[in-house]
């Protein structure tokens, strides 16, 4: 079983819709969770981090964490074509300072 | 501009040759990492270092070595390159705090022929 699992997509949504990206992780001791956006040919850039159960909002982005279900998600409201990218979920286990990444979900926002 | 600098940007290398990928950060982060990214496999950790003078193995360390002589530099060496090492390599850094995110360099695209 992979440490972090994501649906590879592609996930296609129309412009203005809500895009919902999901991620599950296998290790219950995982402490912190991150979402990165990666455009084709570029490096990953951090867009959200979340550490406790519940929702965290930043502009059009909302991260949701449910540690009991070992599930973290990213919602993108009012999706724009510029949001089209691959979204990587990353998990950090305390004491090891090692980050585990999902293989990413490719999002296509259609104008 | 603060960040991580990787060099070269891309390289074509003959199998059997030795190659060092350079990585320098100016954020004074204690921890540094090398990842490779392959289609369908995502980012996989090669080696990491939590502080100058110490290094550790990640998921896929075979064929690679690293050193951490100081806080800022973390070079990755392929002693004898093989075609399966064709990949995009990302250097990253973070504070030594489980809530600190990774910051990535721009990557090195390496092709081993």
**pLDDT tens digits for B10-42?**
999 999 999 999 999 999 999 999 999 998 788
Helices of type H across chain B: none
Q: Measured between alpha carbons, how far is B33 from B46 in angstroms, rounded to an integer?
A: 8
Tokens of A4: 């972090």
The whole-angstrom separation of Cα A33 and Cα A25 is: 10
Report the distance separating Cα B99 and Cα B88, nearest Å: 26
> CA B53 to CA B71: how far, in whole Å?
9
Residue A44, chain B, CB below 8 Å: the answer is yes
> Which residue in the set B42, B101, B105 is minimally distant from A49, CB to CB?
B101
Q: Would you call A101 and B43 a contact, using CB atoms and an 8 Å cutoff?
A: yes
Q: What is the pLDDT of residues B38-80, one digit of tens each?
A: 987 889 999 999 999 999 999 899 999 999 999 999 999 999 9
Token match 């997509």: residue? A9
Distance from CA of B41 to the nearest CA of A (A): 6
Both tokens of A46, joined, read 């951090």
First to last CA, chain B: 35
Mean pLDDT of A83-97: 85
For residue A101, which of B66, B4, B90 has the smallest C-alpha distance?
A: B90
- A105 touches A8 (CB < 8 A): yes
Q: How far apart are CA B60 and CA B36, in angstroms?
A: 9
Q: How far is CA A111 from CA A78, A83, A106, in A?
A: 12, 11, 16
Top pLDDT among A35 and A9 is at A35
Which pLDDT score is estimated for A94?
Answer: 65
Model confidence at A97, pLDDT cuts 50, 70, 90, reads low
pLDDT value at position A30? 82
Judge whether residue A29 has pLDDT over 90: no
Count chain A–chain B contacts defined by CB atoms under 8 A: 56
pLDDT higher than threshold 90 for residue A93? no
Contact between A4 and A100 under an 8 Å Cβ cutoff? The reply is: yes
Per-residue confidence at A40, pLDDT binned at 50, 70, 90? very high
Mean pLDDT, rounded, for B96-104 = 87
Residue B107, chain A, CB below 8 Å: the answer is yes
| Mean pLDDT of chain A, nearest integer | 93
Q: Which residue has the tokens 């399966």?
A: B84
Pull the structure tokens for residue B17. 């040759």
Taking only the tens place, the pLDDT of each residue in A49-67 is 999 999 999 999 999 999 9
pLDDT of residue A9: 86
Q: What is the mean pLDDT of residues B88-108?
A: 92
Q: How far is A13 from chain B (nearest CA, A)?
A: 22
Asked if B76 contacts B18 with a C-beta cutoff of 8 angstroms, the reply is no
């Amino acid at each position: 079983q992979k440490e972090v699992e994501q649906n590879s997509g592609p996930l296609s949504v129309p412009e203005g819709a809500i895009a919902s990206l999901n991620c599950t992780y296998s290790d219950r001791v995982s402490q912190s969770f991150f979402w990165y956006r990666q455009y084709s040919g570029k490096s990953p850039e951090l867009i959200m981090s979340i550490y406790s159960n519940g929702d965290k909002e930043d502009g059009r982005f909302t991260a949701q964490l449910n540690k009991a279900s070992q599930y973290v998600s990213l919602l993108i409201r009012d999706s724009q074509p510029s949001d089209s990218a691959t979204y990587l979920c990353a998990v950090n286990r305390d004491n090891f300072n090692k980050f585990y990444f999902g293989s990413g979900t490719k999002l296509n926002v259609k104008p | 501009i603060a960040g991580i600098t990787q060099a070269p940007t891309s390289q074509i290398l003959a199998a059997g040759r030795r190659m060092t990928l350079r990585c320098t950060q100016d954020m004074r982060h204690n921890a540094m990492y090398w990842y490779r990214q392959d289609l369908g496999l995502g980012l996989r950790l090669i080696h990491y270092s939590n502080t100058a003078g110490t290094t550790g193995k990640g998921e896929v360390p075979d064929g690679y070595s690293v050193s951490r002589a100081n806080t800022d530099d973390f070079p990755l060496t392929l002693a004898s390159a093989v075609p399966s090492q064709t990949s995009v390599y990302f250097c990253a850094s973070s504070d030594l705090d489980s809530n600190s995110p990774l910051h990535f360099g721009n990557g090195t695209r390496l092709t081993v022929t």
